[in-house]
Amino acid sequence: MGPMNQTNPVPEHNPQEVYADKLLGFTIPSRNARGRMVRLDEPLDAILAAHDYPAPIRHLLAEALVLTTLMGGLLKGDGSQVTMQAQTEAGAVNLLVCDYKDGDLRGYVDFDQGKLAELGANPSLFALFGKGYLAITFDVAGKQGRYQGIVPLEGDSLSQACESYFFQSEQVPTLIRCAVRSDGQGCVAAGMLVQHLPDGEEGRERLHTRLDHPEWEHVAIMSGSLRHEELLDPTLSLEAMVWRLFHEESEVRIQPGADISRGCRCTIGHYEQVLARFPEEDRQDMRNSEGLILVDCAFCSKQFAIAA
């Protein structure tokens, strides 16, 4: 972890700087704020390539993967995992699910092709989901265990829905910026999450005060000035963006985080363990004429033949 200040600016080019496929954490001690940034390139293309998603679904999943990575970067300790799930019963999207664990990222969208085709080229979040909900689950390594928050899937984007989650479920003022670009050369998506965590201000009854806190108002204004073009600029490192936003602060501490990769955890061994939990009569019903159980992985679109 290292400080940045006005006498020690981020150099224009440094091979140690983070440009893509790696988390970057930062804190602003004088403002009681913390943040995470990420730009996804190769892992994103690998995840999207598993299915022939139409453009609106590619954009939706790309944003969801960025958000899941940013939230996963808030967890401490190896083995911790965050899962984001958005679901509805009447929209074009039936289910969106992503999870992040120790740098491994995966995601999948199940949708109704017919309903999607009726929505046009750029459907809104409400058009895609209707009256859906967003569930975010944190499985924290160690004694903290699992906790989950569920909020209505509201707002103009998944980013706004996640901001609502932090406000409603964790009472933490949060600002999120996300940008996605998809063209014939692939897909790139990036985002920033910034939070206010002042000492001694915890609990729902203090939320209004915290939203009006001058420290948070300042950080939110600075963070909100970040442009989509900057987030997606491959020549602009994440450190350089942090410097542009907060170079007037007395100190900003940065800490590169995990390398991000497509991390589907499907293996024959994993599915053998899952199937072993079923009674033998149930496994018998699952077998085909050759005595094999065929298991499809929705995340990576692979099929596994299990001799269970």
Q: pLDDT, tens digit, for every residue of 51-79?
A: 999 999 999 999 999 999 999 999 987 88
pTM: 0.86
pLDDT value of position 293: 80
pLDDT value of position 211: 58
Q: Report helix, strand or coil for 85.
A: strand
pLDDT value of position 274: 77
Q: Tokens standing for 225? A: 């000035």
pLDDT digits (tens, 9 = 90+) for 224-262: 999 999 999 999 999 999 999 999 999 999 999 999 999
Same-domain pairing of 297 and 214: no
| DSSP 8-state symbol, 80 | -
Kindly state whether residue 2 falls inside one of the protein's structural domains.
no
Last residue of a domain, one of 232, 247, 262: 262
pLDDT value of position 199: 56
Query: How many domains, in total, are found in the chain?
Result: 2
pLDDT under 70: residue ranges of the chain:
1-15, 198-212, 308
Kindly state whether residue 5 falls inside one of the protein's structural domains.
no
Distances in whole angstroms, Cα of residue 186 to Cα of each of 43, 44, 45, 212: 11, 9, 6, 41
Identify the domain containing residue 194 by its residue range: 20-262
Same-domain pairing of 91 and 45: yes
Kindly state whether residue 78 falls inside one of the protein's structural domains.
yes
Same-domain pairing of 31 and 60: yes
Number of residues that make up the chain: 308
Same-domain pairing of 273 and 231: no
pLDDT digits (tens, 9 = 90+) for 30-56: 999 999 999 999 999 999 999 999 999
Same-domain pairing of 274 and 167: no
**CA-CA distance, 176 to 222, in Å (whole number)?**
12
Could you tell me what percent of the chain has a pLDDT over 90?
60
pLDDT value of position 39: 98
Same-domain pairing of 229 and 302: no
- Give the 3-state secondary structure of 248-290: CCCCEEEEEEEECEECCCCCHHHHHHHHCCCCHHHHHHHCCCC
Kindly state whether residue 15 falls inside one of the protein's structural domains.
no
Kindly state whether residue 201 falls inside one of the protein's structural domains.
yes
Q: What is the CATH number of the domain that holds 138?
A: 3.55.30.10
111-118 long-range contacts (CB < 8 A, ≥24 apart) are: 111/57, 113/54, 115/91, 116/54, 116/56, 116/57, 116/92, 118/92
Same-domain pairing of 85 and 180: yes
pLDDT value of position 294: 80
Kindly state whether residue 51 falls inside one of the protein's structural domains.
yes
pLDDT value of position 215: 86
Same-domain pairing of 195 and 285: no
pLDDT value of position 110: 94
